[in-house]
Amino acid sequence: MNDLHNDAASLIGEAEGISRRDLLKAALGTGFAAAVLPVSAETVVKTDSDGLTAGTVNVTVDGYPVPVYRAQPAGKTGLPVILVISEIFGVHEHIADVARRFAKQGYLALAPNLFARQGDPQKEASIADLQKNIISKTPDIQVFKDLDAIVAWAGQNGGAADKLGITGFCWGGRITWLYAVHNPAVKAGVAWYGRLLGEATPNTPKHPVDVAAALKTPVLGLYGAKDTGIPLESVEKMKTELAKGKSGSTFVIYDNSGHAFHADYRPSYVEADAKDGWKRALDWFKQHGVA
């Protein structure tokens, strides 16, 4: 089936004069990263696009077209905006589905390919290769600049600039905390199991715990007690730093979950906690004016 899909895409590209690079961008929101295969197909949630405008748009940042998976109620304007920030695996089927879930709730949901300049995360054979070849080479400052441009694009394309929220998973959870500090226009954030501590590097000079006291935006952290990569000690350190500020941020810890409990395409998925977290996320955004 994949070979047929690839052959068809090649024929379309040749017929319309589309480059291979453009074809890859057009495929945003499809497939899964090689590093997480095989997919747990029996638990994958599939949200249709009925009543939605959904697909890839490009937002130019310093002359570079950043692909963004966009989903929104068809024909609507003045929509609250949600930035959906992916895990290290990029904007694959699950992330696009999450964007459609938000769109079904009335949001303009934007899931950008923030690794576009560094490579294609879906092709890396292992998580180690992905970290080495793409993630470690993606500067936070580049990510923030891309997101700033995407927010500006949203305001010019049906989004309400005063109703901006952000959510992210794993790598995207870390970015959620950081971008909420970077951009004061963000009214609320929901960080799913994003790393809180880390080594300072030229590309990642600060981590959430370093900026927590300065945070003014309320962020809801959804974390798993069994997450071996993000121990509860780091959550406690984050709470201590948050207490020095007045953001109103808080955590929900799921005792029965580890990392990636929302990822319905992986064995780590915990349906009950994922559904509870999703409801809490929607309530959090509504509570803080992102609706």
Residue numbers annotated as active site: 170, 227, 259
DSSP-derived 3-state class of residue 17: coil
pLDDT value at position 11?
29
Q: Tell me, what's the pLDDT at 23?
A: 40
Confidence of residue 10 (pLDDT cuts 50, 70, 90): very low
Nearest alpha-carbon partner for 85 in 185, 194, 176: 176
Q: Which residues sit opposite 223 in a β-bridge? A: 253
Q: What is the pLDDT of residue 19?
A: 43
Q: Over 70: is that where the pLDDT of 21 sits?
A: no
**Average pLDDT score over residue span 108-124:** 96
Report the C-alpha gap between 58 and 91 in whole angstroms. Answer: 14
Q: How confident is the model at residue 264 (pLDDT cuts 50, 70, 90)?
A: very high
Q: Report pLDDT for 9.
A: 33
Looking at residues 171-193, what average pLDDT do you find?
98
Smallest CA-to-CA distance from 156 within 260, 262, 97, 78 is with 78
Encode pLDDT of 139-149 as tens digits: 999 999 999 99
| Residue 102, burial from CB neighbour count under 10 angstroms (0-12, 13-18, 19+) | buried
Predicted confidence band at 3 (pLDDT cuts at 50, 70, 90)?
very low
Cβ atoms of residues 80 and 126 within 8 Å: no
Please state, as a whole number, how many other Cβ atoms lie within 10 Å of the Cβ of residue 225: 13
Q: Which helix (H) or strand (E) holds 165?
A: strand 159-169
The one-letter code for the residue type at 231 is P
- Written as one string, the DSSP assignment of 59-126 is EEETTEEEEEEEEEETT--SEEEEEEE--TT-S-HHHHHHHHHHHHTT-EEEEE-TTTTT--GGG-SS
Beta bridge pairs of residue 79? 159
pLDDT of 154 > 50? The answer is: yes
Q: How confident is the model at residue 27 (pLDDT cuts 50, 70, 90)?
A: confident
- On the question of pLDDT at 6 being above 50, the answer is no
Residue 181, SS3 per DSSP: helix
Q: Look up residue 170 and give its amino acid.
A: C
Average pLDDT over residues 20-28: 51
Residue 5, token pair as written in the block: 């899909």
The average pLDDT across 94-111 equals 98
- Lowest mean pLDDT segment, chosen from 1-15, 72-86, 112-126: 1-15
Q: What is the mean pLDDT of the chain?
A: 92
Residue 45, Cβ neighbours under 10 Å: how many?
18
> Model confidence at 95, in pLDDT bands (50, 70, 90)?
very high
Residue of higher predicted confidence among 254 and 25? 254
Assign a CATH topology to domain 1-288.
Answer: Rossmann fold (3.40.50)
Give the Cα separation of 124 and 115 in Å (integer). Answer: 13
Stretch among 13-27, 55-69, 219-233, 265-279 having the lowest mean pLDDT: 13-27
Contact 93, 32 (CB under 8 A): yes
Entry pTM: 0.91
Q: What is the mean pLDDT of residues 43-57?
A: 97
Residue 12 banded pLDDT, cuts 50, 70, 90: very low
Model pLDDT, residue 40: 95
Confidence of residue 16 (pLDDT cuts 50, 70, 90): very low
